[in-house]
């Protein structure tokens, strides 16, 4: 009878594998997220970026990009704002938030200010940011 009880206990409980440490570095999570993003697997990308963002703040920018591609603009905006709060010199986050506003056709004054800040923060990327600035200024003129 004791043997039956032990077997019943074993049959009811499943072995579990517990991972105490994440085997991937934050950079590896970002790289995996980029692969998922390129495959159009945006939910998987967001999950990887979220894991990375715990120790690598730039992953918040990547998460915002994935949300943008998913069409979840509110979440994208929140991520870009958080990326800027955590790194006030994050020119890519400034530019991407400005681009988001341009695409939505709102907050164009703020969008222009954000791009100008991005150009000042990263003059080496000024050409890419000027493209956003030109589009925002055209959109403002058309209003």
In terms of domains, do 68 and 102 share one?
Answer: no
Examine residue 51 and state whether it is found in any structural domain, yes or no: yes
Examine residue 126 and state whether it is found in any structural domain, yes or no: yes
Residue 72's pLDDT is 98
Span 91-137, pLDDT tens digits: 999 999 999 999 999 999 999 999 999 999 999 999 999 999 999 99
- Whichever domain contains 48, its CATH number is 1.25.40.10
Examine residue 16 and state whether it is found in any structural domain, yes or no: no
CA-to-CA dists, residue 48 to 21, 57, 140, angstroms: 15, 13, 37
Examine residue 33 and state whether it is found in any structural domain, yes or no: yes
* Cα 6-9-10 angle, rounded to 5 deg: 90
Examine residue 93 and state whether it is found in any structural domain, yes or no: yes
In terms of domains, do 142 and 94 share one?
Answer: yes
Task: Give the Cα separation of 92 and 138 in Å (integer).
Answer: 21
Span 43-70, pLDDT tens digits: 999 999 999 999 999 999 999 999 999 9
In terms of domains, do 101 and 66 share one?
Answer: no
Range of the domain at 39: 25-73
Q: Residues 6 or more apart from 119 whose CB is under 8 A from it?
A: 91, 125, 126, 129, 130, 133
DSSP conformational letter for 39: T
Examine residue 47 and state whether it is found in any structural domain, yes or no: yes
CA-to-CA dists, residue 119 to 4, 5, 7, 90, 91, angstroms: 74, 72, 69, 11, 7
In terms of domains, do 140 and 94 share one?
Answer: yes
Q: How many domains does the chain have?
A: 2
Token pair listed for 75: 């979440």
Task: Give the Cα separation of 55 and 105 in Å (integer).
Answer: 34
In terms of domains, do 61 and 103 share one?
Answer: no
Q: What's the chain's length in residues?
A: 143
In terms of domains, do 95 and 119 share one?
Answer: yes
Examine residue 11 and state whether it is found in any structural domain, yes or no: no
Examine residue 79 and state whether it is found in any structural domain, yes or no: no
Task: Give the Cα separation of 46 and 128 in Å (integer).
Answer: 25
């Amino acid at each position: 009878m004791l043997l039956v009880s032990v077997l019943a206990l074993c049959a009811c409980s499943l072995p579990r594998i517990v991972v105490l440490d994440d085997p991937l570095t934050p950079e590896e999570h970002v790289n995996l997220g980029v692969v998922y993003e390129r495959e159009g697997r945006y939910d998987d990308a967001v999950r990887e970026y979220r894991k990375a963002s715990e120790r690598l703040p730039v992953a918040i920018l990547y998460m915002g990009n994935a949300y943008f591609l998913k069409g979840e603009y509110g979440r994208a905006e929140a991520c870009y704002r958080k990326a800027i709060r955590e790194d006030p010199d994050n020119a890519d986050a400034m530019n991407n938030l400005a681009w988001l506003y341009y695409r939505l056709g709102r907050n164009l004054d703020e969008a222009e200010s954000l791009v100008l800040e991005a150009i000042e923060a990263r003059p080496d990327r000024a050409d890419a940011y000027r493209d956003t600035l030109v589009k925002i200024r055209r959109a403002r003129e058309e209003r």
